[in-house]
Chains A and B, each alone.
Chain A
Amino acid sequence: MDLNLSAEEKLFRDELRAWLGENVPKDWAEWREKPLEESFPYLRAWQRKLDEGRWAAVSWPKEYGGRSATLMQQAIFWEEMARVQAPPMANALGLGLIGPTIIAYGTEAQKKRFVPKILSAEEIWCQGFSEPNAGSDLAGLQTEARLDGDHYVVNGQKVWTSYGWVGDWCELVVRTDANVPKHKGLTVLLVNMKSPGVDVRPLRQMTGESEFNELFFRDVRVPVENVLGKVNDGWNVAVSTLMYERGSYGARLHLLFKRNIERLIELSRTFQRNGQPAARDPLMRQKLAQCYGEIEIMRLNQLRAFSRITATGVPGPEGSILKIFWSELNQRVQQVAQELLGPYGQLVGGDSRAVDNGIWSYGYLRTRGNTIEAGTSEVQRNIIGHFVLGLPRSY
């Protein structure tokens, strides 16, 4: 056990620092408050620049434009990006989830066709997984693809699609065989979102914004060469995408959480409670300290998981505790923020008295989604119960 950076890790960090020092845009602060629709070209340009420096997908193998970075180096990457307050990358799902899946399962032709444009943000990717009747029970999905000559014809509906409105391509899970057990009749298709019959509608969520879309497919024709992996082996392909989702994502989140608690501590010096700054109120001190401590434990859990994955080669089901931990913690932190801010906590962006332009009222609502998205807390606990602790399947 040695938590100091190795020589190689230091080298990686220093090279990145130097590059960021010269290349990170200085005007991101002016853009970050704007709606994503407006700032998207800016984010594309930023990702292109990162790609030119070979920094867009450090975790990818070198031969595909990455740096074959270890998990620890990935953690360092996100930490450095946060340190200089770099903008996010436009093609987040393509880089984080779908690119790695194509690299793992794709044909040479598919890799050649899709991977470079994922890196350069020339083509934005979205994911068509969940459906109105297939959430936690993803394998029960109903969107069907029927073979017609050298094309599949797709009919069905997907929900909770991030980047659907700007997506050029979609990693779509469809049912190709309805006569076999549900996990065995699925296939993954790479679908051009500009195809006739694809309809994208905004899905307004409880925060009021439309971060996600609903996708409708009516007789959409997809050439057979766009099958990713084997026909009827889509479950394994999809699960591998979900594994990437649970990989280094937490490292990025930790930095966000750390900024949140630091900001709350700062606010506690000015917000009053019982006639004194909240920072001196015994109860608020307890609550802030609890958040502070748990955010640190989140980081430590993450680092231990990275070491374990590095040793075993694959992210195991133990990773489910990371998801439960961060999502439930984020909700607790937001509740503490509400207690700290009192009536001000409810004010939304645009109100002249809103604290930090309403990020806390927004966060309070948005974090309810944390224990639902990317595998509900219930599903994560099922995974731990069955796959980690060896208890009998509960469903």
Chain B
Amino acid sequence: MEFGLSESQQLLKDNARKFFAGECPMAEVRRIMETDTAYDAALWAKMVEQGYTGIIFPEEYGGVGLGKVEFILLMEEAGRALVPGPFFSTVALAGTLIDAIADPEQKKRYLAPICAGEARSTVAVLEATASWEPTQVQITGVNGKLTGEKLFVTDAAVADWIVVVARNGVFLVHAQAPGIKISPMSGLDLTRKLYSVRFNNTSAEKLGDADGLTRALDVATAALVGEMVGGMQRTLDITVEYAKTRKQFGKPIGSFQAVQHQCADMYLETESSRSAAYYAAWALEENAPDAAVAVSIAKMYASDAGRTVGNRGIQVHGGMGFTWENDVHLYYRRAKASETTFGDASFHRERIARLAIDAGTASAKSA
């Protein structure tokens, strides 16, 4: 039994960290987030070169074929760097759903271009009810057409096609199709833009039934938690650095226990989120019987921890933490958006209750 990273996993993580530090430093994040779409073609092209857009997809579609643990390590580093743009929407969301649900012909058409970096995509789940429960979805595909409105769709303006979760299955819509209207929604996270997508008798290709949807969303959720862990880690690092250098009463503020203990709690929350995230990824990779519970535990914990780590980070920074110039609020904004994406802590607690309390089996597999 080995919970540490293998040599190749550690290498992938280290390389990703170096890559993002070089290609996507905070100055770039700030520049890109000020654009309408937060999409930067040059950065995208470099990520494609690294093979990141195909990381977990089968080699037959041009992917790299790595596992889910490797994927969330990459997401962790992307989250640490606060990488803006449609990487998450395209790979963790659309790619994962297409890979799980579509037939081989469709994968050639839609997954292969994602791996090759030629196409960007996203997934539309939420409607006006803002429920992450796929059974609450109202939009229904009728005769190959969709009508209705999806909300909180990430990166829709730069997507070539949009994967739509409908009542009767999962559909794919070309972003340029007649009868589609994409309008910005202004959210807190400046690095990941939100849109409403309205369909009016818009042609849609069915990718498959909703079987496999829950699992694909679990993979996306684990990836998101990985990204959240990276955000927490960076917030912790920035905060500890500040506590070491900022002086009041003639001493670094980090020498005061009230400050030090905030930092210690940030560390505990970050590490615990990481344990849960890595395990969820491993359980998904192994098809472990507790994979769904593991994903919900990870998202439950990280949703609260991400916010709390941010709260503490801002507090430790004092007045500086409240400024636009300081980077902590950029992570804080992302953390708030991620907290509700795929369901907040309450949503996942209820899911754990259904899986662990109602089922009458405490299914968490032990050593």
Residues of A within 8 A of B (CB): 1-6, 9, 72, 75-76, 79, 258, 261-262, 265, 268, 279, 282, 285-286, 288-290, 292-294, 296-297, 299-301, 303-304, 306-308, 310-311, 318, 320-321, 324-325, 378, 380-382, 384-386, 388-395
Contact = CB atoms under 8 A, between A and B. Distances in A.
Contact of A300 (B240, B279, B296, B357): B279
A296 B362 CA distance: 11
9 contacts: A4-B286, A261-B362, A279-B358, A299-B364, A303-B275, A304-B274, A325-B268, A385-B260, A391-B240
Interface in B255-280: 255-257, 259-261, 263-265, 267-268, 271-272, 274-276, 278-279
A246 to B, nearest CB: 15
Interface of B: 1-6, 9, 69, 240, 243-244, 251-252, 254-257, 259-261, 263-265, 267-268, 271-272, 274-276, 278-279, 282, 286, 293-294, 296-297, 300-301, 346, 348-350, 352-353, 356-358, 362, 364, 366-367
Contacts of A2: 1-2, 282
Contacts of B267: 321, 384, 388-389
A297 B301 contact: yes
Given A262-B362, A304-B3, A381 B261 contact: yes
Residue from A304, A382, A395 with most neighbouring chain B CB atoms (10 Å): A304
A321 B257 contact: no
A265 B276 CA distance: 22
Contacts of B300: 289-290, 293
A268 B2 CA distance: 36
A378 B357 contact: no
B75 to A, nearest CB: 15
Contacts of A382: 257, 260-261, 264
Contacts of B9: 1
Given A286-B349, A292-B356, A385-B264, A394 B4 contact: no
B367 A303 contact: yes
A392 to B, nearest CB: 4
A311 B296 CA distance: 29
Contacts of A301: 271-272, 275
B296 to A, nearest CB: 7
A395 B255 CA distance: 8
Contact of B357 (A72, A288, A381, A388): A288
Nearest to B258: A394
A292 B259 CA distance: 30
Contact of B356 (A75, A265, A385): A265
A89 B306 CA distance: 41
Contacts of A389: 240, 254, 260, 263-264, 267
B272 A285 contact: no
A340 to B, nearest CB: 12
Contacts of A258: 362, 364, 366
B1 A3 contact: yes
Contacts, number: 179
Find the residue from A279, A288, A381 having the highest chain B CB count within 10 A: A381
Contacts of A6: 1
A317 B296 CA distance: 29
Nearest to A73: B1
B275 A391 contact: no
B2 A307 contact: yes
A296 B367 CA distance: 11
B108 to A, nearest CB: 32
Contacts of B346: 286
Given A303-B367, A321-B268, A390-B244, 9 more contacts: A2-B1, A3-B279, A261-B362, A265-B356, A265-B357, A288-B353, A325-B272, A378-B261, A385-B264
Contacts of B301: 293-294, 297
A75 B367 contact: yes
B22 to A, nearest CB: 25
Contacts of A394: 255-257, 260
A262 B259 CA distance: 37
A3 B282 contact: yes
A325 B273 CA distance: 12
A242 B90 CA distance: 50
A295 B349 CA distance: 13
B356 A392 contact: no
B272 A289 contact: no
B279 A391 contact: no
A9 B254 contact: no
Nearest to A76: B367
Contacts of B278: 1, 300, 304
Contacts of A390: 240, 244
A285 B350 contact: yes
B225 to A, nearest CB: 12
Contact of A293 (B69, B268, B274, B349): B349
Given A297-B297, A392-B252, A311 B362 contact: no
A308 B4 CA distance: 7
A300 B365 CA distance: 11
B350 A392 contact: no
Contacts of B286: 3-4
B104 to A, nearest CB: 30
A1 B264 contact: no
Contacts of B357: 265, 268, 279, 285, 288-289, 292
B3 A385 contact: no
Contact of A290 (B243, B257, B282, B349): B349
Contacts of B358: 279
Contacts of B294: 296
Contacts of A261: 362
Contacts of A1: 2-6, 9, 69, 278, 282
B287 to A, nearest CB: 12
Contacts of B243: 391
Contacts of B2: 1-3, 307
Contact of A9 (B1, B4, B261, B268): B1
A301 B267 CA distance: 12
A45 to B, nearest CB: 29
Contacts of B367: 3, 5, 72, 75-76, 79, 299, 303
